[in-house]
Amino acid sequence: MRSLISLVTLFVTLVSAATLKVRAPTPGSLSQVTSFGKAPTKAAFYIYVPKKLAESPGIVLAIHYCTGTAQQYYNNSPYKTLSEQYGFIVIYPSSPHSGTCWDVSSKATLTHEGGGDSNTIANMVLWTINEYKADKSKVFVTGTSSGAMMTNVMAATYPDLFAAGIAYSGVPAGCFVSASGGVDAWNGTCADGRVNNTPQKWAQVVFDMYPGYNGTRPKMQIYHGSADGTLRPSNYQETTKQWAGVFGYDYEKPESTKSNDPQSGYTRTIWGPKAQGIYAQGVGHSVNIRGADDMKFFGFA
């Protein structure tokens, strides 16, 4: 009888734990959300809700690199610590593809509501805004390498969701295209820095991902290393051209260029209030995350 009671207790505990997993992620630990509305792709949704959640919290979407996972980006990026400091929620999507790069190549993912990974991730953000009554004006996106490519794609396909984006060592949105429609395809031409467009052409690539959209767009900050052998350094120029072009800034005439900013060997160029880049001299793939600076750019600090 006693063992039956403990068995029943165990069962009830397990069931409520399973329910909790969906309904209320545990504050202070990385939790998976298994049901969040439409998920056209199998990207997994992990969330970190801080123990000290702000009232009407902000959200940072933090996207991992190839070979990485949500768990790894949670471990190896500063956002969970910063989340406790500022009270925002962090969303860590996890790639469903072999090799765990993100799909930044298919027409589906490069289209607003197109049914690709960008669509699935946008639905994670919408679920979180709704579930936590988050402040819609404080939703941000960042990522490293493949996650930086996806950051540019999210900013291009869901400009209405994000107030700002920071890309660490990626490529422009719509540069890693697969001509044959491949999902999560490698694009060597883009990686090698052999896709060169005008700011206007790159801007059009962004506009075409959400035709007819005329609302505000996130301000963007682009980091890249001058010794990047994986995604060649000219991807820095191409990506900054893209966002300067989107906002109609004159790429040839930036507002300011400052050496040794934010640190020795880095150069910050500001094209306008919504587009800036930081070129890291001698740094390979990828530039280290600068958490405190990210907080300033996002407006938390």
Ligand X SMILES: *[C@@H]1O[C@H](CO)[C@@H](O)[C@H](O)[C@H]1NC(C)=O
Which residues are annotated as catalytic?
A: 145
The answer to whether 195 contacts ligand X (rule: CB under 6 A) is: yes
Q: Of 3, 98, 214, 264, which one interacts with ligand X (CB under 6 A)? A: 214
Binding mask 146-165 for ligand X (x = CB under 6 A): --------------------
Binding residue count for ligand X, defined by CB under 6 A: 10
7: exposed, middle or buried (C-beta count within 10 Å: 0-12, 13-18, 19+)?
Answer: exposed
Judged by CB, which is closer to ligand X: 21, or 232?
Answer: 232
Residue with smallest beta-carbon separation from ligand X: 179
Q: Report the residue from 77, 100, 144, 187 that binds ligand X according to the rule CB under 6 A.
A: 187
**Per CB under 6 A, does 13 bind ligand X?**
no
Bridge partners for 221 per DSSP: 166, 276
Q: Where are the beta strands (DSSP E) in the chain?
A: 30-33, 44-48, 59-63, 89-94, 139-144, 164-168, 219-225, 256-259, 266-272, 275-280
Contact 50, 87 (CB under 8 A): yes
The Cα 23–Cα 26 span in angstroms is 10
What phi and psi, each to the nearest 5 degrees, are found at residue 93?
Answer: -75, 155
Quick one: 138 or 217, whose CB is closer to ligand X?
217
Q: How far is the CB of 214 from ligand X (least distance, A)?
A: 4
| 75 versus 216: smaller Cβ distance to ligand X | 216
- Residues in touch with ligand X (CB under 6 A): 175, 177-179, 187, 189-190, 195, 212, 214
